[in-house]
């Protein structure tokens, strides 16, 4: 089962790269079916590349570390 704690631990490894560019993310929700919802903040919130960062960076890394993650979406 996918746990919020497991996702938070994995996101902590991703945060420094986002923060280096003036951004960050906040974990909003983790569902039992593997959907992770995050909110991109700071520079990431208005960046035109934020969708790519979300899919190619955050989602890919979470799926590698936590196979139960099916999808990562931003709000």
- The CA distance from 9 to 47, in Å, is 25
Query: Is residue 45 scored above 90 in pLDDT?
Result: no
Query: Is residue 47 scored above 90 in pLDDT?
Result: no
pLDDT tens string 51-65: 999 999 999 999 999
**What residue ranges do the domains of the chain occupy?**
4-74
Question: What CATH number belongs to 4-74?
Answer: 3.30.300.130
Query: Is residue 30 scored above 90 in pLDDT?
Result: yes
CB under 8 Å to 61, separation ≥6 — which residues?
10, 13, 14
pTM for the full model?
0.92
């Amino acid at each position: 089962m996918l746990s919020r704690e497991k996702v938070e631990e994995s996101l902590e490894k991703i945060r420094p790269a986002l923060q280096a560019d003036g951004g960050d993310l906040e974990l909003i929700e983790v569902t039992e079916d593997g959907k992770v919802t995050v909110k991109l903040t700071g520079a990431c919130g208005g960046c035109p590349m934020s969708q790519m960062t979300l899919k190619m960076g955050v989602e890919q890394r979470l799926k590698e570390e936590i196979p139960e993650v099916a999808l990562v979406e931003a709000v």
